[in-house]
Amino acid sequence: MDSGSTLLINCIRHVGLDAAGPGRVAYVSMKRPDQNASRNEDSLCIISVNDSCVVLGLSDGFGGCRGGDQASKIAVETLSTVVDGIVDSENGLRGEILNSFEEANRKILELGIGAATTFIAAEVTQNMLRVYHVGDSAGLLVTQRGTVKFQTTSHSPVGYAVESGVLDEREAMYHEQRHIVSNMLGSEDMHIEVGPRIELSKKDTFLIASDGLFDNLHLNEITNIIRSGPLEEAANELLEKTEQRMLNPSDGDPSKPDDLTFALFRLGR
């Protein structure tokens, strides 16, 4: 991608790979692989602000509400419009990203149909990462050795139980209330969680993904796949393994057919 360019992605069944800002990004966004989905309610954007800055945005529209796909598109399109106007990525980017969340929330509420979506955005400026999120679409930063340097907390009763130590990751995967989300765009009570600034090493891998990934693969499986090797190969393995789980459930493994969207980022062209 050229500096100042934006990719808006809603349906791509194969892995895309592009240079973006100070690194490279591999991505997928597709509707659930069974025959029960008419559209993809996930959306993804990749905004290459300049050679030293990239912004990633991902949203997952609520399937149980009218207009989930509309809400999802509004979120990433609003982020893209706001960030496209930024000239100096070192000043004002944080504020403008927060503004995009607020503006998207207002637009979704104005639809008046009960539409809602999760939303996660990440900025990388030079070698510094910051993540912003609402809902249960997740961000994960992993070292080459598979150590988790950063992970977002799902805005849900189960997510908070994991954060507090009441549930472990495996118990949470099979919990009956796993898919109850307590924070979303499309709510008067929406609140934005802003993560810390984190320094990236050249061999770290950053992932953002909708719950189509995290509901079908365990955390250790994801970290083992993305921690090393070519970025495109890691993305392909995530895609193939997640589709297999969705379509061919087996005893002991999670399986939930759903839209699947993720992006992997590493520093270096």
% of residues, the chain, pLDDT over 70: 87
Give me 195's structure tokens. Answer: 């993560």
At 41, is the pLDDT very low, low, confident or very high (cuts 50, 70, 90)? very high
Q: Residue 180: give the domain boundaries.
A: 5-267
Could you tell me the CATH number of the domain that includes residue 162?
3.60.40.10
Residue 44 has pLDDT above 90, yes or no: yes
pLDDT band at 65 (very low <50, low <70, confident <90, very high): confident
Closest to 142 in 3D by CA, of 50, 238, 57, 9:
238
Q: Tokens at residue 253, please?
A: 């493994």
Model confidence pLDDT, tens digit, residues 77-132: 999 999 976 655 555 689 999 999 999 999 999 999 999 999 999 999 999 999 99
- CA dihedral of 38, 153, 267, 234, whole degrees rounded to 10: -50
Residues in the chain: 269
Q: Across residues 37-42, what is the average pLDDT?
A: 82
* Residue 194, beta-bridge partner list: 132
pTM (2 decimals)? 0.92
Q: What pLDDT is stored for residue 217 in this prediction?
A: 95
User: Count of domains in the chain?
Assistant: 1
